């Protein structure tokens, strides 16, 4: 099955300058995304500043049985945003 993920995040690249002060705006991005199913790794992505704001990631996943899929987005500041969804195989 196809999994589509989207997280709301500015993905500040570290390349932009503050228009008033001329100082570089520090980088702050989601640098890692990981998906697991019942604790087993499914898909992982290392992300660089070239990925757009509100990073969208789509990938394919096998679902051998019912269970829960967990998504984790890791921020440059160390925060981890996670989401868990149950999948029932009928």
d(CA 66, CA 43): 18
Which of residues 62 and 86 has its CB atom nearest to other proteins in the complex?
62
d(CA 64, CA 61): 10
Which of 7, 28, 47, 72 touches other proteins (CB under 8 A)? 47
81 in contact with other proteins (CB under 8 A): no
In the complex, least distance from residue 90 CB atom to other proteins, rounded to whole angstroms = 18
16 in contact with other proteins (CB under 8 A): yes
17 in contact with other proteins (CB under 8 A): yes
DSSP H or E segment with residue 79: none
CA distances in angstroms from 84 to 21, 22, 52, 74, listed in the order given: 41, 41, 24, 15
Phi/psi at 86 (nearest 5 deg)? -85, 140
2 in contact with other proteins (CB under 8 A): yes
* Residue ranges in contact with other proteins by CB under 8 A: 1-2, 13, 15-17, 19, 37, 40-53, 55-62, 64
């Amino acid at each position: 099955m196809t999994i589509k993920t989207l997280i709301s995040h500015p993905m500040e690249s570290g390349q932009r300058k503050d228009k008033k002060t001329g100082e570089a705006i520090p980088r702050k991005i989601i640098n890692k995304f990981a998906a697991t199913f019942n604790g087993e790794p499914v898909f992982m992505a290392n992300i660089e500043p070239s990925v757009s704001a509100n990073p969208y990631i789509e990938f394919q996943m096998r679902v051998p049985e019912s269970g829960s899929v967990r998504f984790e987005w890791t921020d440059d500041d160390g925060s981890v945003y996670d989401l868990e969804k149950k999948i029932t195989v009928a």
